[in-house]
């Protein structure tokens, strides 16, 4: 083994992790079922052994279903429609929300100082060009 040229390098052997794992095994006992599944029946007492026997009796009581009787259900990957409720923030007094679609969908913010005719004209232009604007509800996610 060669020593490194850099004198600032330190070598160490860590045995603490191994000691921690040994202590963990001693302190934390596994459940009776886990012991049965891992063939660790040597360390169980009579109460735990009785509990394991009861569990095995209950498992044996279940009826086995043959592959011909088994019912298989095919899962479908249909995307569920996602309903997103928009939380509209309070706007300053000089602005207001208008919606490009029915049911408060596709909100836009416009000036509060527009006349009714100007609002209608602006909304019509926005509706005609909403693809060009690139506004989509999916963009909000």
β-pair partners for 105: 101
pLDDT value of position 141: 43
| CA distance linking residue 123 with residue 115, whole number of Å | 12
111's enclosing H/E stretch is: strand 105-111
pLDDT value of position 40: 62
Tokens 């012991």 -> residue = 35
Look at residue 6 and give its three-state secondary structure. Answer: coil
pLDDT value of position 136: 52
Give the predicted TM-score (pTM) of the model: 0.36
| CA distance linking residue 141 with residue 47, whole number of Å | 55
pLDDT value of position 3: 62
Cα Rg, the chain, nearest whole Å: 35
| CA distance linking residue 19 with residue 74, whole number of Å | 49
pLDDT value of position 47: 85
Mean pLDDT of successive 10-residue segments in the chain (141 residues)?
64 71 74 69 76 85 77 76 77 88 80 91 85 57 43
pLDDT value of position 138: 46
């Amino acid at each position: 083994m060669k020593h490194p040229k850099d004198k600032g390098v330190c070598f160490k052997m860590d045995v603490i992790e191994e000691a921690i794992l040994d202590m963990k095994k001693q302190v934390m006992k596994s459940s009776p079922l886990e012991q049965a599944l891992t063939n660790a029946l040597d360390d169980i007492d009579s109460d735990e052994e009785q509990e394991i026997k009861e569990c095995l009796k209950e498992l044996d009581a279940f009826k086995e279903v043959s592959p011909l009787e088994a019912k298989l259900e095919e899962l479908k990957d249909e995307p569920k429609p996602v309903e997103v409720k928009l939380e509209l923030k309070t706007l300053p007094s000089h602005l207001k929300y208008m919606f490009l679609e029915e049911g408060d969908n596709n909100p836009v913010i416009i000036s509060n100082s527009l006349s009714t005719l100007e609002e209608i004209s602006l909304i019509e232009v926005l509706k005609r060009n909403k693809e060009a604007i690139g506004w989509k509800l999916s963009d909000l996610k």
